[in-house]
Amino acid sequence: MPQRKEIEVNKTDLLPGKTAQNIKQMIIVQKMKPGDRLPSEPELMEMFGVSRSTLREAMKYLRAENVIVIKRGNGTFVSDETGVGEDPLGLNFTNQHRLVKNLLEARLLFEPQIAELAVQRATEENIRYLGEIIHKMKETKVNDDLAAELDVQFHTAIAECTQNDVLIRIVPIINESIRVGHNETACVIGSYERAKECHIGIYEAIIRKNYMEAKYFAERHVWETLKDIKEMGKNDEKKDNGITNGSSHANQFDSLLHWGFEDK
């Protein structure tokens, strides 16, 4: 039996990864916030005892993870989206219609529970910020460029109410379905007004500390989005006399709608 050959590991190859971990630890220990500036390159080299090439490789890792942002001529800063890559789940390589369905499924599982936690943990500052978003929503029409962005801001703000760092980082990934869903349903009459009604319902439930009501409106919001997307698929099918894939676009949401929530 042939002897297994040992794999030789050059320890210098591991230095960039270790240095990246050390920089992360420094950010945590020093309680650095998004937008805070990191020490200069020479200072970091001295702090961690590494060469310029090792440090720059480490910085590439940290940039890929969105831990840092490098601004030429200004320095290196802690990212506003610390630790969240541009596409951490590889969703850019998923069929878009399937992706919307999967993201809505995930929202259906997450959002009612997130709403319940938001009721329990929201601070006065959280509630004030939610109120500002709701005020802007009330003045926004479905075809306004700001509409989809306000929708995303609202759901992100609800996650922030939970005071749970994991949820705060997961929700922006799921929120991609909000942007896509808004584009898909913009032509469905009343869809945006129904969404606003649910947002207001969640907001008022948080103010009243009514977690059951918050969960109800969170769940209802997702189901109505699903039905609106299905309706949009039916409209596309009618326009194309059933020749294109409009019907498959609509039918792929049937399995969700057949869970017994058609009348929600």
Same domain, yes or no: 58 and 163: no
pLDDT at 110: 93
79 closest CA partner among 119, 134, 35, 47: 35
pLDDT at 128: 96
Same domain, yes or no: 115 and 52: no
Q: Can you tell me the distance from the alpha carbon of 75 to that of 59, in angstroms, rounded to the nearest whole number? A: 12
Tokens of 264: 């929600």
Q: Can you tell me the distance from the alpha carbon of 179 to that of 239, in angstroms, rounded to the nearest whole number? A: 24
Same domain, yes or no: 131 and 28: no
| Side chain identity at residue 6, one-letter code | E
Same domain, yes or no: 56 and 120: no
Query: Under DSSP, is residue 70 helix (H, G, I), strand (E, B) or coil?
Result: strand
Q: Whole-model pTM above 0.75? A: no
Domain boundary among 50, 78, 106: 78
In a domain, 83, yes or no: no
pLDDT at 138: 92
Ranges under pLDDT 70 in the chain: 1-14, 81-97, 142-145, 176-177, 179-188, 233-264
Same domain, yes or no: 68 and 132: no
Same domain, yes or no: 49 and 135: no
Q: How many domains does the chain have?
A: 2
In a domain, 228, yes or no: yes
Query: Under DSSP, is residue 69 helix (H, G, I), strand (E, B) or coil?
Result: strand
Integer-rounded Cα radius of gyration of the chain: 23
Q: What are phi and psi of 190, to 5 degrees?
A: 85, -5
Structural domain that includes position 103 = 93-257
Same domain, yes or no: 107 and 166: yes
Distances 29 to 18, 46, 47, 75, 101 between C-alpha atoms, Å? 16, 18, 14, 20, 40
In a domain, 262, yes or no: no
Which CATH number covers residue 37?
A: 1.10.10.10
> DSSP string covering 74-143, please?
TEEEE-TTTT--SSTT-GGGS-HHHHHHHHHHHHHHHHHHHHHHHHHH--HHHHHHHHHHHHHHHT--TT
pLDDT at 254: 54
Specify the residue for token string 């896509």.
180
pLDDT tens per residue, range 87-143: 566 565 566 667 777 888 888 999 999 999 999 999 999 999 999 999 999 998 866
